[in-house]
């Protein structure tokens, strides 16, 4: 019978054999945890430029020290998105828009509200962490606005984009009806609104996703080389009425309103892909909030 090897020899043998194991393999008792704060620190390092003071890009719920089991990017962390994220085992939610129904996520006025209470309780019960990624995903410090990048890809507009102005596009001649229909089909929009003559020529288009505000929207429509303005949303008594008056005056202008969600959601699809280039320890998935209107 061969004598047993001394215990001191087993350890180097084990280490030698383990050298061929896949990256990330853990032995019993070892841990490889990535906290929510560490993920956000990586995001900050990859956005370029200095981090703005007074930004809304902050933690909205949960403990930043929580170990991350998976990441979900989304336009809005609706209750439905939170439920799907929890069911998939992911607990860090990176949302583009607010969690608690106002730009700054102020909750003082919601303390006794049952909808707010249920949402916060769900986040807490499932050990979730919510962080907003808005200002710096739009940041000019980045090579390209992240939302715009994702939307242009989704629309298939890359080759029509002005190299000096990412919001300006030049298309082969078409008419407003055909152009609007192509957007509706490409983004699978249920509720899209259009102002203008269906037969109007469309060549030069200005695109402002989200809610850029009346000042920027009207200034875009004022540009002599812009035929159509495409936006996410607009107050109906501001840019909408400006566009309606322009059309009544027989000016070659038009307005297409996509809806805020669909005008930016593809930007958070791109966010998930971007995150995968420098966060590799946990699964990352985009989850659609979808159009809110029937």
List, for residues 226-278, the tens digit of each pLDDT value. Answer: 999 999 999 999 999 999 999 999 999 999 999 999 999 999 999 999 999 99
Contact present, 91 and 69 (Cβ < 8 Å): yes
For residue 142, the model assigns a pLDDT of: 75
Contacts of 178 (CB under 8 A, 6+ apart): 202
> How confident is the model at residue 32, as a pLDDT?
59
Q: What is the pLDDT of residue 10?
A: 36
Tell me, what's the pLDDT at 169? 98
Mean pLDDT throughout 193-213? 97
Q: Quote the CA–CA distance of 263 and 66 in Å, as a whole number.
A: 32
Segment 176-180 long-range contacts (CB within 8 Å, at least 24 positions apart): 176/200, 176/202, 176/228, 176/254, 178/202, 179/205, 179/228, 179/256, 180/256
Residues linked to residue 286 through DSSP beta bridges, in sequence order: 73
State residue 139's pLDDT score. Answer: 81
**pTM above threshold 0.85:** yes
214 pLDDT tier (thresholds 50, 70, 90): very high
Please say if the pLDDT value at position 110 is more than 90: yes
| Confidence (pLDDT) at 13 | 34
Top CATH class, 147-258: alpha beta
Q: Determine the average pLDDT of the residues in 181-204.
A: 96
pLDDT in tens, 114-148: 999 999 999 999 999 999 999 999 986 777 899 99
Q: Delimit the CATH 3.40.1390.30 region(s) of the chain.
A: 36-140+265-286, 147-258
Give the CATH number of domain 36-140+265-286; options: 3.40.1390.30, 2.40.50.100, 3.20.20.70, 3.40.50.2000. Answer: 3.40.1390.30
CA distance 212 to 257: 12
**What is the reported pLDDT for 20?**
39
- Mean pLDDT taken over the chain: 90
Q: Does residue 11 carry a pLDDT above 90?
A: no
Contacts for 44 with CB less than 8 Å, ≥ 6 apart: 51, 136
Share of the chain above pLDDT 70, in %: 88
């Amino acid at each position: 019978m061969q004598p047993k090897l001394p215990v001191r020899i087993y350890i180097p043998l084990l280490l030698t054999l383990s050298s061929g194991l896949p990256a990330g393999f853990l032995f019993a008792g070892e841990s490889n945890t990535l906290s929510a704060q560490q993920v956000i620190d990586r995001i900050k390092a990859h956005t370029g430029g200095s981090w703005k003071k007074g930004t809304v890009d902050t933690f909205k719920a949960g403990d930043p020290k929580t170990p991350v089991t998976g990441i979900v990017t989304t336009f809005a962390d609706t209750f439905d998105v939170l439920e799907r994220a929890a069911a998939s085992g992911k607990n860090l939610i990176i949302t583009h828009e607010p969690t608690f129904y106002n730009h700054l996520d102020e909750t003082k006025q919601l303390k006794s509200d049952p909808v707010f209470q249920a949402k916060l309780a769900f986040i807490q019960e499932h050990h979730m962490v919510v962080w907003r990624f808005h200002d710096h995903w739009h940041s000019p410090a980045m090579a390209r606005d992240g939302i715009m990048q994702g939307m242009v890809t989704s629309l298939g507009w890359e080759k029509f984009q002005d190299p000096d102005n990412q919001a300006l596009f030049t298309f082969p001649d078409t008419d407003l009806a055909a152009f609007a229909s192509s957007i509706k089909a490409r983004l699978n929009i249920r509720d899209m609104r259009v102002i203008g003559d269906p037969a109007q020529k469309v060549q030069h288009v200005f695109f402002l996703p989200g809610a850029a505000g009346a000042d920027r929207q009207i200034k875009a429509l004022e540009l002599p080389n812009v035929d159509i303005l495409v936006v996410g949303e607009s107050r109906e008594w501001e840019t909408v009425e400006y566009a309606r008056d322009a059309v009544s005056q027989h000016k070659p202008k038009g307005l297409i309103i996509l809806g805020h969600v669909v005008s930016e959601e593809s930007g958070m699809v791109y966010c998930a892909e971007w995150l995968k280039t420098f966060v590799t320890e946990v699964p990352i998935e985009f989850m659609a909030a979808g159009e809110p209107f029937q």
